[in-house]
Structure 1
Amino acid sequence: MTGAGGADADEGADGLMEPPAAAEKNGTVKLKVLEEDEEQTKFTGLNKEELLRVAGSPGWVRTRWALLLVFWIGWLGMLVGAVLIILRAPVCRELPPTDWWNEGPLLQIRNLQAFMMMMTPSLSLSGLEQKVSTLSGLKLKGLVIGPIHAAPADDPMNLEFEEISPEFGNLEQFKRLLQTAHRKGETRSPWCSTELLNRFTMKLLMRRISMCLQSALVFWLSEGVDGIQLPGVEDLARMVPSLWTDIRAIIQNGTDKVLIGVTETSSAETVSDVLSSTGVDLLLSGVLSASDQTERAHSVQLLYSNHSQTKLAWSLEDLSRDLVKVNQLLLMTLPGTPVFIGGDGIGLKDDVRQTKLRQTLFKEMVLRKRSKCHAVFPLRLQGERGERSFFQSISELRGKERSLLFGDFSLLFNSSSSLAYLRVWDQSTRFLAAFNWAAEEVELQLSGAGLPHHAAVVRSTNTSALPEESSVDLRKLRLGPGQAALVRFPHDG
């Protein structure tokens, strides 16, 4: 029993020990315990105290100071570099003081009725008011109108400076014209009195006219005109100096009113003396009337050398239609204020020519087949538009380019029939104007310091020969008869 019981007991014991053996073989339980231990020991970062302790270590302190030093050295280096660039850069030239009459061309309307016939059936001031928008679109800065005051023929004692002649309109129409011009923001309207004072040399007449004239100046300036034009200023300043002093005080009293003088002389030396002695803001003369271009170049050079170009004014009365564009380019590129006389010089006759051309072509359409006229009509009209559009393009260009507005003038070449000069301002684009008044082609060989070999055509009176934006060789610049061109090239730095 005992042995059997012992065996049974051993077997029972073995039977009771099987579950622990089975538990030891259960690897899942052991693996779970191991995974939990690993998760408990995973790195989760440093807390605040640990971070402060690490950041305060000598290694990190030295690193931070090194990075901070590199940052400030780089910042100071960039600052020093910027200062050096500014100091070494060429200083921009200070713009000269200018007035509104230096910023664009002026249009002088001597014969109001003849001028209005070009633009509108109305021959009065009201008709001119309707065309202010058209004139402003041509970038004109001022209209010099007159004389339009009442002036009885051969009766100087009864001149009415403060009354408008009924054939031109009335004072209310003139006021509306001024308001319209000022509202456009571009066009000013100086009042013009011509052929009044330079015809009278007697002291009595001078005294009588001086009293009326001073009152008239105050009256018209109070009505809103932007300036006065007077002829024979050298005679007036010499014969009645006190009157001339009063006239200048009335007009040039610190306001933006312009005093325009007119002299009949064409001598550059005399014009220079008159400009110095009278003190007018602008002086119109006949210095450009010379047909010889050498004399013309001498006149321009003399006046430019002795006076500020803000005091110079240029005008031409050459009505040759073949030279309209050439004259436009000449006046617009000379140093000073261009003054165009009448509507012919700015292409306002285009409308009249267009109307007449349409009438002629309409008659041709009646006499010929309609198809043939349709082929001719657009081409002929297109050829007639050039003068006004050319003037407008030159006027817009002059208003945008500093070299043309108040740039330095340098004469490059001149002969009896050819002329070339350069306009330069600081670092702006340079412009070179070349003209040929001869009856045959001419080749200009232009060279010198600062002149490149090639330049781009900006404006040309003959786009067939010299297309705009084409490149030309300044050493062999060819101009056809009666042709002019304006070319440009950049500042070479």
Structure 2
Amino acid sequence: MPLNVYGDTGYGSVAAARLLSESLSGSETVPLLIRDPEPEPQKWQPMSKQELEIVAGGSGWRKLRCYLVLFFWLGWLGMLGASVAIIVQSPRPVAPSLLWWQRALFYRIHPALFKDAQNEVRSGIDAVRERLPYFKSLGVGAVILEGLFNRAASPPDLREIDVEVGTMPQIQQLFLESHRGGIKVMLDLCELDLFGPLRSAGNGSVMPSDVSGSVQNALRFWLELGAAGFGICDTDTAYSAQTLTDWRVVIKEFSTSEFRRIVVVKQTGEFLPALNIFGTSTNHSLVEIVMRSLLPHAHHLLSRQEVAVAMERHLSTPHSGIWPIWMMGGETTPVLHKMLLVLMMTLPGSPVVKYGEEIVPLTNVSAEISSAHEADKTNGQGDSIGNMKQSALALFNSLSQSRLREESFLYGTFTFLTLNYSSSSLSSSTNATQAPQKPPVLAFVRSWGCVHLLVLLNLGPDIQFLDSAWAPSLPTAGVFVTSTGMDRLGATSLETLRLQPEEAVVIKLFESGSYSP
């Protein structure tokens, strides 16, 4: 059937073309060619379960999954093997098993010091018992009671304490509460004439069995009450190979694997006298623990130079094999006293503090305050003394906590360092003809594994800084642990470190980028 759209005009005629051109001539934007209408976009639809199973079940996907699982387990096993190899090859120091007296902080106290104004003993023993929580807060592990027995008696009755100190029920209560608080109690027997007129100066003479037996029975009496041990001086007439042998037998009877009792020999001179044991002069077989002084005993305040000589002698002397318990010894200024606290708490061995030394003895504080404020001795002196005591106590607490926390102080090796240092004081270079002698900057390292704790002590009056090549084997980056001024915090570098006059610092060294708080 013919298609006639435009009436009489046939399809494709001139009239039809003219009509089409007239209808399109009204717009210049009409394209010359008319496109077919585009189909509507299909909406996305998720694959059904059946379609997923068909696609996932293909051979290509199964191979890919197998390869991925294989690579995962091979990579995991490779990382596990590498970790095990690193752990096995890395040097891991084995911590030795330390006994309680190798970990403890000792505290010497004389109960007779706690008397009232009327010289009546309300009780020295009770005053010590009331201070047990304070001792515990300081980190004290053992208390050494001094002056318990009557020194005038010859021989003294070791089963009874001096009436000026307290009574037996009071000291029994002290043993009970100290045991509950985890603090051990030792008895000091120094400067007692234990054998009376039958004296033995360690020349090999033998004590009668009844005299020696009475002393051993007295030791058993106190050990049964809970005493952790006894102290004896190397100058006592009872100090001999026979005495130490007899005492060790008694100590062994009451010692267990958890609680071992001890005998401490207090060294009064520069060297410990040798004992005549089986024809040989030695003290290693009987003396196991010795209490030594950092400073020589003197009747005056020791100068900076005297303190420096004593400190350097102890640091440069090799360890003798006998476990040392360090005490302060002589007296010096409060500033040097705090430096000695740092030294005593960081040396190999165990520290022992006398009552009041953790806050600096009052006599030393008063002397320094008087010299520093000679123009005005009254205004502000009490505040200055209080600030010194608080600063010293804060330093002591910091050192005590660091000693318990840092394994390097408990197990670490000791290395004394020889430093190259320079002074930044202008007074040191003003006199070119006679250069003043520089006081030493002492240093040592306590190392355990990859941890190094560096202790620096500047005993001079000038600011000191270290040479960049002073210790090439040690890392230069570190973080402050504590300092005598209690004003050192955060990270530091040995290349830029400046030591203040009469300052001691403890720095924990670490490799760059390996430290994490």
TM-score by length of structure 2 reads 0.68
Distance 1:297 1:382, change over 3 A: closer
Higher normalized helix content (fraction of residues) = 1
Quote the Cα distance in structure 2 between the aligned partners of 1:216 and 1:344: 30
Quote the Cα distance in structure 1 between the aligned partners of 2:188 and 2:324: 18
- Which of residues 57, 75, 78 in structure 2 aligns to 1:77? 75
Distance 1:209 1:419, change over 3 A: farther
Q: How many residues align?
A: 413
- Deviation at 1:412? 0.8
Quote the Cα distance in structure 1 between the aligned partners of 2:492 and 2:274: 41
Alignment partner of 1:201 is 2:200: yes
Quote the Cα distance in structure 1 between the aligned partners of 2:134 and 2:50: 81
Quote the Cα distance in structure 1 between the aligned partners of 2:312 and 2:282: 20
- Deviation at 1:196? 2.7
Contact in 2 for aligned 1:411/1:421 (Cα 8 Å) = yes
Residue 95 of structure 1 aligns with an amino acid whose one-letter code is A
- Deviation at 1:284? 0.8
- Which of residues 389, 396, 411 in structure 2 aligns to 1:391? 396
- Deviation at 1:55? 9.4
**More deviation, 224-233/202-211:** 202-211
Q: 2:426 maps to what in 1?
A: none
Partner-residue secondary structure (3-state), 1:163: coil
Q: 1:487 maps to what in 2?
A: 507
Distance 1:417 1:212, change over 3 A: farther
Contact in 1 for aligned 2:113/2:124 (Cα 8 Å) = no
Matches for 1:156-171 after TM superposition, within 5 Å: 156=155, 159-171=156-168
Quote the Cα distance in structure 2 between the aligned partners of 1:84 and 1:319: 57
Residue 484 of structure 1 aligns with an amino acid whose one-letter code is A
Q: 1:315 maps to what in 2?
A: 327
- Deviation at 1:410? 0.8
Quote the Cα distance in structure 1 between the aligned partners of 2:169 and 2:364: 29
Quote the Cα distance in structure 1 between the aligned partners of 2:174 and 2:317: 39
Q: 2:423 maps to what in 1?
A: none
Partner-residue secondary structure (3-state), 1:285: strand
Deviations for 1:363-408, whole angstroms, at most 9, x for unmatched residues? Answer: x9xx9xxxxx9x9986764344222222112111111111122211
Deviations for 1:394-442, whole angstroms, at most 9, x for unmatched residues? Answer: 11111111112221111113797542111111133x2211223345555
Q: 1:332 maps to what in 2?
A: 345
Residue 238 of structure 1 aligns with an amino acid whose one-letter code is A
Distance 1:229 1:474, change over 3 A: farther
- Deviation at 1:147? 3.5
Partner-residue secondary structure (3-state), 1:189: strand
Quote the Cα distance in structure 2 between the aligned partners of 1:416 and 1:253: 48
Partner-residue secondary structure (3-state), 1:71: helix
User: Can you give the 5+ residue segments of structure 2 that lack an aligned partner in the other structure?
Assistant: 1-46, 276-280, 298-305, 370-375, 420-437
Partner-residue secondary structure (3-state), 2:285: helix
Distance 1:104 1:154, change over 3 A: closer
Quote the Cα distance in structure 2 between the aligned partners of 1:247 and 1:233: 22
Partner-residue secondary structure (3-state), 2:140: coil
Q: 2:459 maps to what in 1?
A: 437
- Which of residues 470, 474, 483 in structure 2 aligns to 1:451? 474
- Which of residues 285, 290, 305 in structure 2 aligns to 1:283? 290
Deviations for 1:309-364, whole angstroms, at most 9, x for unmatched residues? Answer: xx222112223242221111110011110112x2232117579999xx9xxxxxx9
Deviations for 1:222-253, whole angstroms, at most 9, x for unmatched residues? Answer: 11122222233997443456525524533555
TM-score by length of structure 1 reads 0.71
Quote the Cα distance in structure 1 between the aligned partners of 2:262 and 2:310: 29
Quote the Cα distance in structure 1 between the aligned partners of 2:471 and 2:358: 34
User: Can you give the 5+ residue segments of structure 1 that lack an aligned partner in the other structure?
Assistant: 1-42, 358-363, 368-372
Alignment partner of 1:183 is 2:213: no
Distance 1:56 1:108, change over 3 A: closer
- Deviation at 1:88? 1.4
Distance 1:416 1:260, change over 3 A: farther
Distance 1:178 1:474, change over 3 A: farther
**More deviation, 165-174/203-212:** 203-212
Partner-residue secondary structure (3-state), 1:216: helix
Residue 409 of structure 1 aligns with an amino acid whose one-letter code is F
Quote the Cα distance in structure 2 between the aligned partners of 1:137 and 1:221: 26
> Identity percentage over the alignment?
17
Distance 1:56 1:457, change over 3 A: closer
